[in-house]
Structure 1
Amino acid sequence: MNRRTAVSLAVVASAALLLPGCTGTGGSSKGADAKAPDDPSKVSGTIKVLTVRTDLVQDGTLKKYAAEFNKTYPKVKVEFEGLTNYEAEVKIRMNTENYGDVLLIPAVIKKADYPKFFASLGTQAERSKKYRFTDYTTVDGKVYGQSPVGVSPGFIYNKRIWKEAGVTEWPTTPAEFLDALKAIKSRTDAIPYYTNFAAGWTLSGWTSVNGSVHCDPGATDKLADGDPWAKGADLRVGDTLLYDIVKEGLIEKDPTTSNWEESKPRTAKGEIATQWLGTWAIVQFQDAAKKAGVNPDDIGFMPFPAQVGGRFCAPVGPDYNQGVNVHSQHKEAARAWIDWFTDKSGYVEDNLAIPPVKGAPLPAVMKPYEDAGVKFIEVDDTKGAQVKQIDNQSEVGIFAPEYRKNLVDLARGARKGTLDGFLGDLSKRWTDAQKNLGS
């Protein structure tokens, strides 16, 4: 997969909505524990690690990590298998007991079913002392997965182009953001905002605005219990901004011909000024700048244009969580790999990512956030499964591409209707589904 640190939480969740429900036949109802080893010299066995990072499999990077791991665990052999269509392929394998020893927990698996498929890594009470994001994989007090990196949504932008347009401060409101894009259009040759419409998943990422607007750790609860498109609600604010960007003609000429891979060097060179993505994308765009022979420091990252009490807020969540196959014959070795990869591999630093270990320093590329006093919040995912149920029942698809493709088409005149009518329809379908599910 070409996307490094490929899928943020919002995009991962889309797979659960695009694929049929799956509990599989390979699951175990008994559950199991993958205990951390006491003596590394006694841990042995060959383990297979499934990953979306086909790029790191192909270029040998993961083998280098394994070589470092073997300095601590010399009797464990680590094999890797990169899967391009990860969700679909792993879903099939999980109908058997043979789905690797360590794998990224597929979004298609219901959270309540985690104990059938994965071994516990310990209690949430204990693991939450050291790690962020434990609630995302907790079932009945036990944790079944750990993400090696944290991600936060935001705008990748070319600082040089924004400066040429006369914009040197981050916009603090959607109106200021629109004014900045208009300045870019009038004063530079760059495309102010690139939708990456054809890729699809780039548009579904707009759901991760949730939590930013009101700096609300309980934003997921509001999706479960309220109307996401009520006046002032986070998703309505985000969707309105996207609509206005397109309506004002501040995007690529023909979004249906947009190209994700090409957008990286084009942004690095200043042909594109801005894209809504996430922290995981920073290293990709900087790498693209180096390959294009331009300054990687031109790549910047900014929060959604909204403030509470004079401060920007940025939600932080896990990327894919690694879990141990409940049927693995080498659970101790598998657990050793997850712990080492999370704590000591350097993977988080290599990807300029947000550490999942509490208290660990942010990557240098996030220094502007620290300097600006951006507040990081962890959105409570306790009702995340309920939100997926409502989304499924309503057929809105807040994590799927079609909903915002329709929004973009509406804004550019390729679809009939009004913004209020469009968002009102989403509201009705969502709240009707809540009532049907007894929310």
Structure 2
Amino acid sequence: MKPRTSRKLSTVIALAAASTLVFTGCSSASGGNDTGEPSGEITVLTNRTDIVDTVFQDYVAQFQETYPDVTVTFEAITDYEGDTRIRLNSSDYGDVLLIPSSNLGKDQFSQFFEPLGTSDEMTEKYRFINEGSYEGNVYGLSTFGSAMGYVFNRDVWAEAGITTPPETEAEYLDALEAVKATGSTPTYTNYQDGWPLASLVGNMGSITGPAARIDMAQTDSPWTAGTDIYAIDSLLYDTVAAGLSEADPVTTNWEESKNLLASGEVGSMILGSWAIAQMQDAAEQAGKPRDTIGFWPMPWQTDGAFTSVTASDKLLAVSANSDNKNAAQAWVTWFIDESGFAASQGAISPVISDPTPDTLADFADLGVQYLELDADPAGDESLLQDIANESEITVLGEAYRQQLIDVARGAQTGSKEAFFADLNERWAEARATIG
């Protein structure tokens, strides 16, 4: 689930400017209706400001056919990550919420969220269990999964003479140059909204395989040629430095970017497959066929085949402070199993038995191999996040990639080599501190 519009909450959290959060946690509140038939009122925090008053209300009506005694109220938050991370320092973060993806280590899950079941049990039914698990317990279920790649405007790329996906970084950059020659902006970073840059880390594993995340936590210099994180960030730098992205990244706008891609003003955007349906909707609204929008894998191949990492989007959890945990868990289970939300987004369902979405037809035609990252070793489930926090490198966020873009476009002094050397130095120091 990604943020979509700019509708603000009526209550704005004044502490949003805080740069570093200390999660103190809160004790689990056991009161309310935690046993028996679900009933009572629950508040669900969501980042889907665009459909909270429409689609989500339909979900409530369907949910109440099974659970008529549960009242569901939504709180739609535009800056979901920032606001929710701050609210975790109190007990006021709803009954059901999406787990913030940065700064919060897995070893903190039990402080804030109620266990939903054991990893062994839930792996039988659901995908992406590792991402919401710690020490054998599951604290968050995936709302849906995505395969990584880039959405693109077929008409623009065809005009540029590109009808098959580039197989190497050099071919990719050449393709973007050809797209630029048509008058379109080759790719769009969505720098200002930030979270699309954070999503780039979802490509980790495309080059070295399923242990990429584990390997990154075990090396002092991950930003070195041959690693996944180097390839991801180096390609971003090279793209911007070559003038193949938007001219003024500080003025980007997520909602408008959909229209830009649909109209052909922008040629492509690196995103998860969850974005395909939204881009196709924009094309349809512009009077163009839905298949104007395509989805190709990133330009990295292994043994002659493309690989796409599949991973969870947001994780849905029950607050440890909820007064109605029984009702809250009923909503989580129903939403994941019954709502059809993943299918509506053209995304990969977390329910193993559900079919692959039609939006990934391009990948099927290309024979793209899907890959899910290995589970973190027992005892080291939060190691990568701990190192990232200690080094103040937002591996799972966007801040350092915004800085990388600024260097690449000349808004800050520096070079790619110097930038990566600094990241490696900070990473090594953080690993030494954590031990």
Question: What TM-score do the two structures reach when normalised by structure 2?
Answer: 0.88
Moved more, 290-299 or 107-116: 107-116
The letter for the 2-side match of 1:170 is P
1:300 paired with 2:294, answer yes
Q: How does 1:30-41 map to 2 (within 5 A)?
A: none
Contact in 1 for aligned 2:190/2:249 (Cα 8 Å)? yes
**Displacement of 1:34 after TM fit?**
7.3
Moved more, 141-150 or 76-85: 76-85
Q: What CA deviation, in whole Å up to 9, does each residue of 1:178-206 have, x standing for no partner?
A: 111112122x1211122233333333333
Farther off after superposition, 164-173 or 112-121: 112-121
Verify: 1:225 aligned to 2:218, yes or no.
yes
In 1, distance between residues paired with 2:354 and 2:64?
Answer: 24
Letter in 1 for 2:242: E
What amino acid is the match of 1:258?
T
**1:362-401 → structure 2 map (5 Å cutoff):** 362-382=356-376, 383=380, 385-401=382-398
Question: What secondary structure, in the 3-state scheme, does the structure 2 residue paired with 1:80 have?
Answer: strand
1:45 and 1:171 mapped to 2: Cα distance?
54
In structure 1, distance between residues paired with 2:245 and 2:108: 42
Say if 1:409 and 1:415, in contact at 8 Å, map to a contact too. Answer: yes
Task: Give the match for residue 208 of structure 1.
Answer: 202
Q: 2: CA distance between counterparts of 1:249 and 1:97?
A: 46
Question: Which stretch shows the higher mean deviation, 114-123 or 253-262?
Answer: 253-262
Q: 1:28 corresponds to which residue?
A: 28
Match of residue 404, structure 1, among 367, 387, 401: 401
* CA shift for structure 1 position 151: 2.2
CA deviation digits over 1:276-326, x for unaligned, max 9? 122222222122222222222111111110111222111122122111223
CA distance in 1, matches of 2:142, 2:5: 11
Distance in 1 between the 2:86 and 2:248 partners? 37
Going by fraction, where is helix more abundant, 1 or 2? 1
Separation in structure 2 between the aligned mates of residue 406 and residue 270 of structure 1, nearest angstrom: 28
Question: Identity of paired residues, percent?
Answer: 43
- Alignment partners' CA distance in 2, 1:5 and 1:253: 23
After TM superposition, give the deviation of residue 95 of structure 1 in Å.
4.6
Among 308, 312, 325, the residue aligned to 1:318:
312
Quick one: which of 68, 72, 83 aligns to 2:77?
83
Per the alignment, residue 254 of structure 1 pairs with 248
Q: Does 1:139 align with 2:118?
A: no
Number of aligned residues = 420
Q: How does 1:142-161 map to 2 (within 5 A)?
A: 142-161=137-156
Q: Which residue of 1 aligns with 2:10?
A: none
Cα distance between partner residues in 1 of 2:87 and 2:167 = 47
1:103–1:323 Cα contact (<8 Å) kept: yes
What's the counterpart of residue 127 of structure 1? Answer: 122
1:421 aligns to 2:421 (yes or no): no
The AA in structure 1 aligned to 2:149 is: G
* Corresponding residue number in structure 2 for 1:344: 338
Shift of 1:91: 4.3
- Where does the alignment leave 5 or more consecutive residues of structure 1 unmatched? 7-14
TM-score by length of 1: 0.87
1:333 aligned partner, one-letter code: A
SS of the residue aligned with 1:169? coil
The residue aligned with 1:12 is: none
Amino acid at match of 1:137: G
Q: 1:177 to 1:247 in 2, by over 3 A?
A: same
For the residue of structure 2 that corresponds to 1:242, the secondary structure is helix
Return the letter of the residue paired with 1:120. P
Deviations 1:309-364 (A, max 9, x none): 22211112212211122343432222221111111111111111111111421110
> How far apart are residue 82 of structure 1 and its match?
1.6
In structure 1, distance between residues paired with 2:299 and 2:239: 13
2:173 corresponds to 1:172? no
SS in structure 1 of the partner of residue 149 of structure 2: strand
Q: For residue 3 of structure 1, what is the aligned residue in structure 2? A: 3
1:381 shift after superposition:
4.8
Contact 1:51 1:81 in 2 (8 A): yes
The alpha carbon displacement at 1:93 in A equals 4.4
**RMSD of aligned Cα (Å):** 2.8
Q: 1:410 to 1:97 in 2, by over 3 A?
A: closer
Q: Distance in 1 between matches of 2:89 and 2:197?
A: 31
Cα–Cα, structure 1 residues 317 and 34, in superposed 2: closer, same or farther, change >3 Å? farther
Aligned partners of 2:21 and 2:85 also within 8 Å: no
Question: Which has the higher mean CA deviation after the structures are superposed, 123-132 or 414-423?
Answer: 414-423
Partner residue, 2:178:
183
- Amino acid in the other structure paired with 2:408: A
Distance 1:240 1:94, change over 3 A: closer
